[in-house]
Structures are given as C-alpha cells and as structure tokens.
Structure 1
C-alpha cells in the first residue's frame, strides 16, 4: 500500500520551541501518527521527509545510489529564499560532505587514514592537560559554567593539536567556529576567517610538514589538492567542535542528575564510558541531519518519495525507535548500535568517532577527578537546551564545588 504525496496541511511543521525543548515526546507522537517516514515542513514551509525509523535510516544511509548526498539534486531550490536560515546546511561546496561515489571514497579515505595516524595515547595525555588547564581557570572560585568554561573550549584545543597549529591561534579559532555554526549575520564572516586560517595552515604545512592531520592529507597517495585539503579540514573542524562539546556537556549533566551515577562521581572513571554511550542513545549531540536526496521516484516505508525530495535523517528519533535496535529501558552497556555518528559511506569516517570519544572521555574524567563534589548549582529542570532542531546541547551548565587549588599543570 502506498500513500499519495501529502498536502501542505498534512505535513508536520518541523520547527518551533516544542521541538527544541522536548523533542523526544514529539518524535514519538510523529512516529505514532505517521509511521517511520514523516512528511514535514521546514522553515519557510519547504517540504521534506523526516526519517524517524531506525531501520529506515539504515536503509537510506546504506543505499547511496538511490538516496544521494549532493544537495544540488534538491527539487525545491526555486522556492528557497536567499535568507533561508538552513542554507548553510544545503549550499553545495567542494568538500567531502557533498561528494559521491568514488570521489567520496577518495576524500573520506584520506581523512580516515590521516586520523588513523594520530597517536591516541599522546592525544589522551594532551586532552588531560587541556582539561587540567581549564579546570585551573575556575577551580579556586567554587563555581563555573561548564559549557562556556569547559566543554565549549575543549574540542578545538584538541583539534589544534591534531592539526599542528600553534596554541596561540586556538582561542580565536574557537570563537570563529562557534560564531560560524550559529545562524546570524556574523556567521559568514566568521566562516571566511576560519577558511583563511585553514588556508594559512596548509601553506605552512607545505613549508614545514609534521606528524599532523594536514601534513598527512597533503602527502596522501590520493593526491588531494590544496583546496580539497582546506575544505576537508573545515569539515573536520566543524564536526569536531559542537558535537563533541555537546557530548561532553550532556554527559556531565547526565552524571550530575541521574541517581545511577551519583555514587560513582568520586573516582568514578569506570562510569564515564557508560554515561558517554548512554548520551549517544538518549541525548545525542546531533539530533537531525540534512540528509539525502532521492535520485529517482521510489518508495520508503510505503511513502512515495519523488526524485529530488529531501530526506532529513532523524538520528535521535531513530535511536529511540522501539522497533529499532533495542527498547529504551534496555541495558545500554556496550551497545554501540546507535546512529549518532551516522551510518554507511557518509557516516563519520573511522576512526573519527574513536578520536571524539578519547577527547570527551579523557576530559570528563579529569573534571570529576579534580572536583569530586561537583554538583549543579540550579535545579536540573531549570537547565535550558539551546534552541536547535539539529544539535542537542545546553545553553549553560552552572555547577558548584568546594574551591580547590590549581594543579600547576
């Protein structure tokens, strides 16, 4: 049985405060009413399909020939205004994000090889030093906002190490990447500054190559051009920053608000891995992802998908699908079948998820070791999520603790 194309009235508005603050309840209701593939309206009443079924997200992400990545296939471009807020997610650029087939495998393979060359033991030690230094900055005060003063700072400081960048350049890069990822008038100028920074870095690595990601990309046998390396470094930078920062923040929040972790905060390094994994299931940093575009007319879960239709990957909704990998009350220990890093050829290339977990895990462990009586300084229900359909992260994470001496690291 197939359904005709839904009318505008039948489509669910996929924007607004309800989705931003309590998305899981709404995803469950959408699944109940519409099934695993939901007709939605994006900002500006542009039609799309939100894929909320676990098996359907698998199907879409595994079939690159039918559900392709190049956004130029979208059949709604003539209706997109110049100031559409989601343009940064869909405007085509020459990065690995929008390549397909052999070209995508060439580019993603080079990134995977460059990340595989990272000394993970050295990266963990470096992340521990970063965390110690950041904790030193607020340890004596007895209070902190762990999003602004800790989680948001860590990923790009780690990326600076991976990229072989001078640490002095990292703070400006942190600011510019954060601005470029927000929707606002300063986003494009900030993005251009980040691009210029990467271009300077590539030029420097030509002169002075090292054991770092840009140098490995430049010498990779796939023969990447300088422009390709610049674009792909931008992708790695953006992918590392907000998702990893939110992963850190969401994990600390879970450990401070869930009774299962309250007894393990002091010296509780073993529980950090469990909390990190649980966050990926229940509060994954990347909630939704634009997505895929149908190459030809097809059917998906009984829905008639037209050539050029946009499919938004509902990663958080798919993780919570009761018909998916497991039920929400199941034991998540060791279960990594979540879709938080995507799936298929366009998922995060190995070992990017492993690198992100080292960054997040090492820094959360240091935080708990240094501040063992860490506690929220506001009621848990007053914490505010950032207003985004796409990312899941807190505006602030205010905490209190017994003032401690700095480590001297």
Structure 2
C-alpha cells in the first residue's frame, strides 16, 4: 500500500488544490483520454483528482477496481450523506456537483432493502413501457425528425437527429406534452455538463415533472408516470418526482450520446455502413463496440467509502468520494492490451455500470438506437459523411464526452 502525500482528504494540498489534476475545465474538455492515461501512469489504477469547485475525489481507472467498487455496496455506498467534504461543510448544496452526487429519495441514492423497493418500481414500469410499442414511438419521431431535413440533401445528425430524438420518445413514455421535449433535452444536457446553470436547469426539470405528476393524479394514463404512482411499492410524492427526474435525465443524455457515437462509427467505416444497409451486419454489434470504446458516460458519479480501506494501492478514508472511470476501465491495458482486437460478443463492459445499481433501462436505450439507425438508413439513400473523419471533434465535461457535430450528405 502506498502512503500517498496527495490523498484527496485529510491533506492540506488536496483542499487547497495543489498539483492535483482537475477533471473539469479547458484541458479536460479537449483531451480527457490523455488525462486518464497520464493519471494511470502516475498513480496506477486509482488516482487523486479534483472535481468542479476543486472538490477532491478518487478517480477509479482500473477495470478490476471499478468492478470491486460497483459490486460491493457495503464498502462503497451510493448514499452521499456520509460524504465527509459535505458533512464538514466544504461542499454546500448549491454546488453543481450535488446535482450528480447529492442524496435524493431515489433508488440510486440508497442501498439494501430501500434500494430494492424503489428499483423494483422503476424496473417494473420500464418493462411495461417497453412492451407498449417503444419501437413504434421511435419510428414515428425519427421520421418526423428526418422529414425536417430530408429534402435538403445534408444535415448534422447530432443537432438535427440524435440530440433530441430520445427525449421526444420519452415525452410519449412519460405522458408529457411533445412540446416540452426540446426544453427538457436542453436542461438535461446542462445538468450533466455542470457549471453555474446546472441548478437552474435542474429546477426547471423538477418543475415540469412536478406539474406532470399533478396532472397524472387527476388523469391517470398508460404511461411511466402513472405506473410509478400506482405501483405496489407505494412511492410517496417526493419519491415519484425523484425517479421521474432520475430516469428522464439518465435515459435521455446517455441514449442521445450513444446514438451519436453509433452513427459516427457507422459513417466513418464504409464496410460497417454497407453491412448494415445490406443486412449482413447487425446494429447490436456496432452498439456493443461503442459501449466498450466510447461509452455514453465516461465517468460515473459517485460512491463513498464506508470505512478506511485500500484500493489500487492507495489508502481510502471513510467518507471519501470515488468516481468511476467507465471509459478508462474499459480500455484498461490489464484487460485489453490491444484495444484493436474485436470485442464482439463480449458484454462485460462497464458502460451500464454494474452491481446492484446497474442501469435498468438498457433495453429501452437499445431499442431507441436500433430503430433510429434503421429508419435513418432506409430514409436517406446514399448517406455519407460530409467531412473527413479526423475533422469530427468532441467536447467533454466531467461525466461525458459528446460529439460536437456529424455533418452528412445524401440523395435529397
């Protein structure tokens, strides 16, 4: 075990910033993968870093270390009420980080029996939604999106397609007015991005969802919102609202990002594109590859050590915050010495998290992406990338790296 002079907590260097790497800001937005590689070289599979506001944390880079944290809620809880920097007043409730790691009465913030009770309500209703024609909703909204640019012969498949399509589907799933889709998509993006506006956008999401819950109490329907309210787990008003917020933000931001990355991979490889168009390649194989190499969440918030322990050669103290490097873990040279080797058929990636808190909405995201890509390829003959692949850029926040644009051309 290494006695680290720059451990995140209990150290003057950490709370004053010192030389710790910031996982936010201009450098992190441009080259997060370079930062992960440097941290791995300097610190091993676990590294001390600073989050927004120079808040200290541990970034878990190793695949095995990520699995240990995800699979052991008794050692690494999701309940942030034991987070020492918060309990001792170094992080207040107005911090943008609280939108991502702060405690709420939802299944993500709890472990054990409370988690099982609340997660059961979510998973039961997500399964019910999936059985009510989710692919039909995706086909409807994908065609509407494409109608807006089909005659132009060109489009940006990020701004014109991937960025809003999942939210349009979710408005139907939740029982929301379709007109709320763009506003909610923009606010979800800002909450994940962080910064001064995160709290304002979170309040907007909560207000819209609170109004939705009030309507559904008076006019129930066959939607996810009504299902949560009527579930036998007997969720109270705060629990219903917290889960509506949780599912909306998580489902939209991850699916929109994943859809853009799948389209990027398809359009920068003519062999894959031809295989999909001809039916010789299954889109699920492309999604699987993206899950390994560019997962929609690059870093997952957060876990809190329940006792002093050792992880990756470092001393972790009770109440320390750990964030999970899903992308870094997926390309850990200990398990993938050659990232160019095919991962087809291997679903042990970290993209959906893992353990008791593994993403319960995987099937819905998969259905949205598979259907959206299928509709797009059939609607736009001659679809091709309009720029050289190396001209495509991404912008990262602490938690994700999003494709900036995906310009394409096709037969009008």
Assess same fold via TM > 0.5. yes
Partners of 1:212 and 1:301 in 2: CA distance: 44
1:345 to 345, 356, 379: 356
Q: TM-score, normalised by structure 2?
A: 0.90
Q: Which moved more, 1:223-232 or 1:43-52?
A: 43-52
Q: Please say which of residues 7-16 and 282-291 is displaced more in the overlay.
A: 7-16
Match of 2:409 in 1: 400
2:42 to 29, 33, 49: 33
User: Which of 388, 394, 402 is equivalent to 2:397?
Assistant: 388
Equivalent residue of 1:138, what SS? coil
Q: 8 Å contact 1:54–1:325 — kept in the other structure?
A: no
Match of 2:245 among 234, 241, 244: 234
Q: Give CA-to-partner distance per residue, 1:55-105, whole Å, 9 cap, x none.
A: 111111111111111222222233337775434223333333312321111
Report how far residue 355 of structure 1 moved. 0.8
SS at match of 1:393: strand
> How big is each residue's C-alpha offset from its partner over 1:298-343, in whole Å with a ceiling of 9 and x where there is no partner?
1112211011111110000001112237852332212111111111
Query: Which residue number corresponds to residue 329 of structure 2?
Result: 318
Deviation at 1:179? Answer: 4.2
Residue 10 of structure 2: aligned partner:
none
After TM superposition, give the deviation of residue 254 of structure 1 in Å.
0.8
- Residue 3 (structure 2) aligns with: 3
2: CA distance between counterparts of 1:314 and 1:42?
13
The alpha-carbon deviation at position 186 of structure 1 amounts to: 4.2
> Out of 64, 67, 70, which is 2:79 matched to?
70
Please give the root-mean-square deviation of Cα atoms over the aligned residues, in Å: 2.3
Counterparts of 1:245 and 1:34, CA distance in 2: 33
Note the 1:41-120 alignment, pairs <5 A. 41-77=50-86, 78-80=89-91, 84-120=95-131
Counterpart in 2 of 1:407?
A: none
Greater mean deviation of Cα atoms: 31-40 or 256-265:
256-265
Instruction: Note the C-alpha offset of 1:16.
Output: 3.9
Distance 2:168 2:34 in 1: 35
Cα displacement (A) at 1:390: 1.0
Q: Distance in 2 between matches of 1:128 and 1:97?
A: 31
Aligned equivalents of 2:39, 2:192: Cα separation in 1: 28
Change (3 A) 1:332 1:88: same
**Contact between 1:269 and 1:365, CA under 8 Å: does it hold in 2?**
no
> Structure 1 pair 383/93, CA: closer, same or farther in 2 (3 Å)?
same
- Give the drift of 1:116: 1.2
Aligned to 1:406: none
Matches for 1:252-267 after TM superposition, within 5 Å? 252-267=263-278
Partner of 2:340: 329
Structure 1 residues 107-145: Cα deviation after superposition (integer angstroms, max 9, x where no partner) = 111101111112447111221121111111100011111
SS of alignment partner, residue 345 of structure 1: helix
Distance 2:44 2:288 in 1: 27
Q: Distance in 2 between matches of 1:256 and 1:74?
A: 44
Residues 265-274 or 120-129, more deviating = 265-274
From 255, 261, 270, the equivalent of 1:250 is 261
Cα deviation for residue 232 of structure 1 reads: 0.4
| Correspondence for 2:215 | 204
TM-score w.r.t. length of structure 1:
0.91
- Quote the residue 1:284 is aligned against: 295
The alpha carbon displacement at 1:294 in A equals 0.7
Matched residue count: 401
* d(CA) in 2 for partners of 1:269, 1:184: 44
Asked whether 1:357 is paired with 2:366, we answer: yes
Q: Which moved more, 1:160-169 or 1:367-376?
A: 160-169
Paired position in structure 1 for 2:285: 274
Quick one: distance in 1 between partners of 2:157 and 2:183? 19
